[in-house]
Amino acid sequence: MSREQAISRAETYFDDGLFFDDLARRVAIHTESQEPSQTPELYRYLTDEMTPYLEDMGFSCEILPNPVANGGPFLVGERIEGEGLPTVFTYGHGDVVRGYDEQWDEGLSPWEIVKKGDRWYGRGTADNKGQHTINLAAMKAVLAERGHLGFNVKLILETGEERGSPGLREFCDVHKDRLKSDLLIASDGPRLSPERPTIFMGSRGVFNFSMTLTLRDGAHHSGNWGGLLANPGIILAHAISSIVSSSGEVLVNGLRSPEAMSNSVRAAITDLVVDGGNDAPEINPEWGEPGMTAGEKVFGCNTLEVLAYKTGNPSAPVNAIPAHAEAACHIRYVPPTDSKLFIPALRKHLDDKGFSAIK
């Protein structure tokens, strides 16, 4: 009965608007980790909002600095019910991407939850304030019902995930004894389908990198110099096309998964249907690794994406050959890929193809 009653408490927490209130209060804190001026907001989220909530649940909390310069702070929480009990480790991040206030539709704000039909709009509602609010509320419902969880809990809330989690690996290494646990349960990322809850037993890693090419100081008029001066935008585009094909297939062995997909993994993911709902983009079936299903492409192989590309001044182009080009890229990768080998493999490939000037 206690399980059913705890679930009923969780449902009441949502139906009575208490979840909305907690989430709205958290969304209102401008935790834009990419903006140095918002660092005080990162601390405020952990100290003023999350610490009192966790302490009310019986957690001991400590705000700890990031071992990496300019990295955001960490909150470590512990609720220990007894030696010998299993320990669950959970994770969340309090930071969000930039608000981009001016890009929101009329009547919407990144810092205020607005209901429209069945959807709630606000920065962090789906990444990641909504998720860790739900996870903590679920534990709180169990505690309210029976007074104990039956297991120990350790928690990290970081504030730099949207910047690639600088310092997270180092932080966990320094505090590995303190964080030692039996099971990690955390919530982040999209569902396979908006209407269907999804449990992942693992996810691909991500490796961010940039490629830059600077050939000279300043741009030069194409009427005088066109045909004589190498164009870094063109050269970098050709370099990228040697790394990934025009249909999205990774062409450099050192960036691909070093092992073929196992039969057990293929059996687990081959039939997964990726469906983002009515607002999702239409899938391009010919894109990506050939001969794979959609589930295999998303969950079973390495992919390379160009996230941003810039040369010259795109917002105000002039008739001049630019001096500089840059591309921000990343690789999503599966085990047993060693991400430490990506840059050496990329460097060798670029050198072999005559693109040694690209950094």
Using one digit for the tens of pLDDT, what is the confidence trace for 94-131?
Answer: 999 999 999 999 999 999 999 998 889 999 999 999 99
pLDDT tens track for 161-181: 999 899 999 999 999 999 999
pTM of the model: 0.78
Mean residue pLDDT of the chain comes to: 95
pLDDT range class, residue 270, cuts 50, 70, 90? confident
Residue 156 main-chain phi, psi, to 5 deg: -120, 130
Residue 171 near residue 67, CB atoms below 8 Å: yes
Residue 196 main-chain phi, psi, to 5 deg: -130, 115
The per-residue pLDDT for 236 is: 98
Residue 176 main-chain phi, psi, to 5 deg: -60, -35
Q: What is the mean pLDDT of residues 205-221?
A: 96
Q: What is the mean pLDDT of residues 40-55?
A: 98
Q: How many CB atoms lie within 10 A of CB 109?
A: 16
Could you tell me which CATH number the domain at 2-184 has? 3.40.630.10
**Catalytic one of 32, 41, 49, 161:** 161
- Residue 261 in tokens: 């997909």
Among candidate residues 72, 71, 49, the one with its CA nearest the CA of residue 61: 49
**Catalytic one of 22, 95, 289, 326:** 95
Q: Is the pLDDT of residue 190 over 80?
A: no
Among candidate residues 297, 321, 143, the one with its CA nearest the CA of residue 218: 321
Assign 115 to helix, strand or coil: strand
Could you tell me which CATH number the domain at 205-352 has? 3.30.70.360
Rounded to a whole number of angstroms, the distance between the first and last alpha carbons of the chain is 62
Q: Please say if 41 is a catalytic residue.
A: no
pLDDT range class, residue 216, cuts 50, 70, 90? very high
pLDDT range class, residue 203, cuts 50, 70, 90? confident
63 vs 47: CA distance, rounded Å: 7
Q: Please say if 95 is a catalytic residue.
A: yes
Q: Per-domain residue ranges for the chain?
A: 2-184, 205-352
